[in-house]
Amino acid sequence: MKIAYYPGCTLKNRAKALDRTARETAAALGIEFEEIPAWQCCGGAYTSAKDEIATKLAAVRALAAGREIGDGRVAAVCSACYNVLKQTNHEFAVNPDFDFKVNNYLKGEPAYHGEGGVVHYLELLRDEVGFDELKKRVKRPLTGKKIAAYYGCLLLRPSSVLAFDDPENPTVMEDFIRALGAEAVLYPMRNECCGGYLTLSDRETAKQRSNAVKESAREMGADFMITACPLCLYNLTKNTDEPIPVRYFTEVLADALGLGGE
């Protein structure tokens, strides 16, 4: 399977491990990620103001380029990039004025009207590889490990647009953990905000929120946490007193597939 791949800015610098292990594990599972050429930053957050068309053009250009690769969908691993790309693509379906204005901006470039699609790597693992098949591919089962999945905000909300999983009781990451042979730890704060977007403007509030998330996981017996969001990992690692480690879900996938070091 070949699919367009949008890495995003953070995966090219601070989150290189997320990018590397996403590509390596995808290849091992028969998924060819073809990086979109000349992509630009998605913006990192979806601007909900209706007149902010120019801020969405980078996402539109990525979607238009991805339309020409594989089956026309764009795959993302970063939660923020996934959120921005999917919300932008959805806007074409519900807002003809958005379509009109965007394509006026794109005069001289290929037109785009929402023909493509957006998928998260976790969705590919769940819906196309399948967790039963993934379990068969595991070479180093994570037996005995108690892993807490952290969804955060951007994979799940707005649920009516993303349709990623049940926003109140998601299961995809827990099913992923079980496929790798580990025990999935359920804890109350797994889909609550860690405060990552507040880290610069209100570091103390962000710290309180990240501590609450990690304390919730620790109290339920987690050995470590996994996430798909570089901003969440940064906040949960750098702006907290709780010692529980946090890893990218692709890193533990690489370990289970036997792609990591001995």
* Tens of pLDDT, residues 155-185: 999 999 999 999 999 999 999 999 999 999 9
Q: Which two tokens stand for residue 69?
A: 């690769």
In whole angstroms, what is the distance from residue 154 CA to residue 91 CA? 17
pTM score, two decimals? 0.96
**At residue 261, does pLDDT exceed 70?**
no
Fold classification of 137-256 is Rossmann fold (3.40.50)
The CATH number that domain 2-122 falls under is: 1.20.1050.140
**Domain locations along the chain:** 2-122, 137-256
Backbone φ and ψ for 123, nearest 5 degrees, come out as -70, -40
> Mean pLDDT throughout 118-145?
98
The residue written with tokens 């091992």 in the block is 28
**At residue 124, does pLDDT exceed 60?**
yes
Of 189, 180, 120, residue with least CA distance to 149: 189
Q: Which two tokens stand for residue 95?
A: 């807002």
Q: Which two tokens stand for residue 50?
A: 């209706």
Peptide linkage before 37 cis (omega within 30 of 0) = no
Angle subtended by helix axes 79-94 and 230-238, to nearest 10: 140
2-122 and 137-256: identical CATH topology? no
